[in-house]
Structure 1
Amino acid sequence: MSVSVNKTFTLSEAQTLLPVLESLFRRARDSAQRAHNFEAEMQDLSQRIYLAGGMHVDVVAAARRRAERDKAAQLAKDTLVEIDEIGVTVQDFEEGLLDFPCQIDGSTVLLCWRVGEVAITHWHTADEGSEERRPLDARFHRTDRERPN
C-alpha cells in the first residue's frame, strides 16, 4: 500500500491540531452512535410489529426517528470528511486511530495518534498498519527550520 499525500505535517503542526481533531472525531463518533441507536430502535419496532402480526404505529413519530437517524448518520459522515479535508486519515474508527502524513528522511511516514492520548508518540510506515506503530525517535523532534524543503 502506498500513500498518495498532498499535505504533510511536522510533529509540532500535528500536535497543534490534536484538540480540534479530538473534538471533530468525538462528534463523528457520537453522531454515529446516535444513528446506530435510532436504527436499533427502528429494528426493534419492526420486530415487534412482525411478532404481533401488525399493530398501530405512530407513523409521524416513526418518520421523525428515521429523520433523526439520517441526520445523525450524515453528521458523522460530514465530520469524517472534514477530518479528511484537513489532511488527516481516520485509520480505525472503532479504535480512534488517526494518521498524519509526515516527511522524514525523504519518505512519507505516518504519525499515529489515538484519540484520548495527550500527544502524538508513535509512527509507522505507509505499508504498515497501526498495530506495528513504534515510538517517535529523534528525527521527529527536529524543529521546522531544520527540515529540508
Structure 2
Amino acid sequence: MKTFTIDEAQSLLPLLESLLKRAIEGKRAAQEIESQIAELGRRIYLSGGMRVNVAEVGRQRTEMEAHMQRVRESIAEIDSIGVQVKDVDTGLLDFPCRIDDHVVLLCWRMGETAIEHWHTIEDGFKGRKPVDERFRRRSNSSNNRPN
C-alpha cells in the first residue's frame, strides 16, 4: 500500500479534485438520464402502452453508459494514484499515511481548502481528528532525507 506525507497528499489535491468533479458530473448526468427512462416506463405502464421512440431511448441508454464509464475511469485513476475514494457524491477521499508505525488515513472532502483531518482505519470519517504536529514532522523529515 502506498502511503503519503501530508505535503504529498496536499500536492495531489488539484488533480484529484478535477477527477472527482468529472466523476460527480458523470454520475449526476447518468442519474438524470436514468430518471428520464424510468419516467417513460412509468408513463407507458399508466397509459397501458404508447408509442416510444426506440432509437431515442437507445441513444439515452448509450449516453448514460458513457457517463458511467467516465465515472469508472475517474475513480480508477484516483485509485491508481493510491488514494481511496470513500464517497463520490460528497467527494470524500482518504490518503494512507504512516504515523508512529501505524497506517492512518488523511481525510479530505471536496470543498475543504486543505487536508486538515485524519482518522484511523477502524474509526472512519466519524472519528476524524485534526492533523497535529506528528504529521508535519514526518513531512519535514521526509523532505530532508537523502535520496
TM-score interval for Structure 1 and Structure 2 normalised by the shorter chain? over 0.9
| Number of residue pairs aligned between Structure 1 and Structure 2 | 143
| Structure 1 residue ranges without an equivalent (≥5) | 1-5
Cα deviation, residue 23, structure 1: 0.6
- In the alignment, which residue of structure 2 is the partner of 1:58? 53
- In the alignment, which residue of structure 1 is the partner of 2:8? 13
User: CA RMSD of the aligned region, Å?
Assistant: 1.5
Which protein has the bigger helix share? 2
What do the CA deviations read for 1:63-96 (whole angstroms, capped 9, x no partner)? Answer: 0001001111111112111111110011222332
| Structure 2 residue ranges without an equivalent (≥5) | none
TM-score, length-scaled by structure 2: 0.92
Q: Does 1:45 align with 2:40?
A: yes
Structure 1 Cα separation of the partners of residues 11 and 97 of structure 2: 14
Aligned residues of 2:23 and 2:88 also touching (Cα < 8 A): no
- In the alignment, which residue of structure 2 is the partner of 1:100? 95
Identity, % of aligned positions: 50
Q: Secondary structure at the match of 2:34?
A: helix
TM-score, length-scaled by structure 1: 0.91
Structure 2 Cα separation of the partners of residues 28 and 131 of structure 1: 24
Q: Secondary structure at the match of 1:103?
A: strand
